[in-house]
Amino acid sequence: MICHHGQGAAATVQEAHYSTKAWEQPILPARYLEASCGQCHMEQLEGTPQLNSGRKLLARYGCAHCHAITQPDGTLILPVDEPPSLEHVAEKTTREWMFAWTKNPQAYAVSATMPNFHFNDQEATDIANFLMRQSTASENSKVAATSNTPLPSADQAAVDGPGLYGTLFCASCHATQNSKGNLMGGDLAPELTRVGNKANPDWLRRWLRAPQGYDPKTRMPRYRYDEKQIALLTAYLLAKKDDDFLANAHPGPSDEQSIARGKKLTADYGCAACHRINGVAPPEGFAPDLSRIGSKPLFQVGFLRGMPETLPDYIAGKIRDPRAFGPALKMPSFTLADGQVESLTTALLAQTDQAVTMPPELVRATSHAKYHPGGDAGKLMEDLRCQSCHTINGNGGDMAPDLTREGSTVQRAWLLDFMRNPDTLRPALIRRMPKFNLTDAEIKNLSDYMLTAYQAPGFDSGALQSETLNAVAATRGKEIFYSKYACQSCHIANYKKDKGYVGPALADVGDRLTPVWIYKWLKDPQALVPETSMPNAHLTDDEARDLTAFLMTLKARKKGGGK
């Protein structure tokens, strides 16, 4: 009953398995099976990919901004998206853009996560007018926008821009649509396909120089671009526009009545639940609490005509098209794929009465770490927003490697070099670490901090006797690398002959990693990085040592390295 629900005993298969209107709690359809696991388990189970992804989506798509969702371990689902502050929005864009965006965010950017509220022209006008009116001056506006460096011409930007955009790895976080209409790039930050329709040139220059001066909570790092780079990037980005996009955006006039109506709409639709807006406080308890949605009694549910009258179908229907349940409802329409709706439904079905009242000893809680590095290096890492992409001690993004044990992993010389000129270790990845143009002093400061603070226990050099890593061992290691374990299928040890493309290239791994790390990694990769796809080959101690000895001979700086 905990896992499959259902009415219990029945006289026929039909009665036991299928929903009839009389059944309050019919058997849980197989496609939402994982919901039952979520009643006790808060942690990411390997067997529940759909539940895990649903819970991530609840946080990622901002559901938790409006709905309170208390999980069985007593913690609230916290939103992880960072909708932009609108406190200074008049610096960033125009009333026309705001009007068009408010009406239909996906018309501006197909990948926009802002939902569609189906506002009519008048409502969109009022909201745009109010948002422009409430906007105040940001810290950034106190700095001169234009430097002595003029913006290059559009033609020049079209020639030089793509190269700079590429080498700075903007695409690690920002996507653009290519000529075939496919999105290329990351989803950590807004899509830039039509950013020229939105961004004010002065604002863009100041933003590229110091994003945190406009929005202190932004995830965008402060790059150390020089003025020439900023000018070129600004010109290149401003050219990314669609001349038709704003052609039909004609908001009505801006007057006091319209602004007052806009303020009311902003409050009525809970805009401040996601965005910071001057003069509008974030609403509390704005939307129904979903902590027990999975046990919602069916007599409280208003089904649509023709839809199957079950709770899973109701929840999925509400997520897919909320306004179908009543034009006066406030919930906006999200752009979600079928699989995402199914995942979200699964995660919500786990929120049952049973889960809330579960004895605490049955509930497997998760930890909510809020680690931030300290000291000068900590400030620098905050400025560079390292944790937008990297997790450290349980806090941070998941796009880039976890740095919690980086100090035990890499060699100092390599780290200094990498910070100066980051390059990907994985040939197949599009997303790479961007270049921050750090000074030598900053690089030294950061590296020293990471090598000291991010140490793992048991990784001191005593864990592996260095004299055993000799040439004889290396020869044996090379032999098993290529024949017994065929490591070259996934890794490149020698660029001239290996083609493996899955794991990181190892051609200079002897410069990069510490021998102790390599040894422990080979013995049990999942012990160091639980989610890695590197298989644990179950090596003997001798094999792991021989392979370590071989890998330590792979050095780039040696002339003709790799043999």
Residues near other proteins (CB under 8 A) are 29-31, 33-34, 46-47, 49-50, 305-306, 338-339, 342, 428-431, 483-486, 489-490, 499-502, 524-526, 533, 535-538
Choose between 31 and 558: whose C-beta lies nearer to other proteins: 31
Shortest gap between Cβ of 424 and other proteins (angstroms)?
12
Residue 292 near residue 72, CB atoms below 8 Å: no
CB of 112 to other proteins, least distance (A): 21
| Closer Cβ to other proteins, 272 or 539, answer by number | 539
Rounded least distance, CB 374 to other proteins, Å: 35
Smallest gap, in angstroms, from Cβ of residue 67 to other proteins? 25
Residues ≥6 apart with Cβ < 8 Å to 138: 87, 88, 91, 213, 214, 215
Q: d(Cα 153, Cα 357) in Å, to the nearest integer?
A: 65
Whichever of 74 and 535 has its CB closer to other proteins, that residue is 535
CB of 27 to other proteins, least distance (A): 10
Determine the Cα–Cα distance for residues 55 and 348; give it in Å rounded to an integer. 8
Residue with Cβ nearer other proteins (145 or 183): 183
CA distance to 121, 369, 416, per residue, from 126 (Å): 9, 41, 53
Structure tokens at 225: 């671009």
DSSP bridge pairs for 547: none
Show the tokens assigned to 367: 């930890």
Count of Cβ atoms closer than 10 Å to residue 474 Cβ? 20
The residues, any chain, with a CB within 8 Å of residue 348's CB and separated by 6 or more, are 35, 54, 58, 290, 293, 294, 315
What whole-number distance in Å separates Cα of residue 118 and Cα of residue 331? 10
What residue type is assigned to position 433 of the chain? Answer: M
Instruction: Pick the closer one to other proteins by CB: 325 or 485.
Output: 485
Interatomic CA distance for residues 393 and 391, integer angstroms: 7
When the beta carbons of 297 and 306 are compared against other proteins, the nearer one is 306
**Cα separation of 283 and 67, whole Å?**
11
- Asked if 175 and 187 touch (Cβ cutoff 8 Å), the reply is yes
26-35: long-range contacts (C-beta < 8 A, 24 or more apart)?
26/310, 28/3, 28/4, 28/312, 28/349, 29/310, 29/312, 31/342, 32/312, 32/342, 32/345, 32/346, 32/349, 33/3, 34/346, 34/350, 35/294, 35/345, 35/346, 35/347, 35/348, 35/349, 35/350
To other proteins, the closest distance from the beta carbon of 115 in angstroms equals: 21
Shortest Cβ 515–other proteins spacing (Å):
22
List all residues 6 or more positions away from 264 whose beta carbon is below 8 Å from its beta carbon: none
What burial letters (b/e) apply to 55-70, b meaning 16+ CB within 10 Å? bbbbbbbbbbbbbebb
Q: Smallest distance from the beta carbon of 89 to other proteins, in angstroms?
A: 33
Inter-residue long-range contacts of 391-400, CB under 8 Å, 24+ positions, other chains counted? 392/454, 393/369, 394/367, 394/369, 395/369, 395/370, 395/371, 396/371, 397/188, 399/172, 399/173, 399/186, 399/188, 399/431, 400/433
Judged by CB, which is closer to other proteins: 175, or 331? 175
Query: CB 300 → other proteins: shortest distance, Å?
Result: 21
Residue 47 or 327 having the CB closest to other proteins = 47
Nearer residue to other proteins within complex by CB, 191 or 342: 342
The answer to whether 406 and 381 have CB atoms below 8 angstroms apart is no
| Cβ nearer to other proteins, comparing 437 with 533 | 533
In the complex, least distance from residue 175 CB atom to other proteins, rounded to whole angstroms: 12
Shortest distance in whole angstroms from residue 31 CB to other proteins: 4
Report the residue number, 20 or 461, with the smaller CB distance to other proteins. 20
In the complex with other proteins, the residue whose CB is nearer, 15 or 82, is 15
Q: Least distance to other proteins from the beta carbon of 531, Å?
A: 9
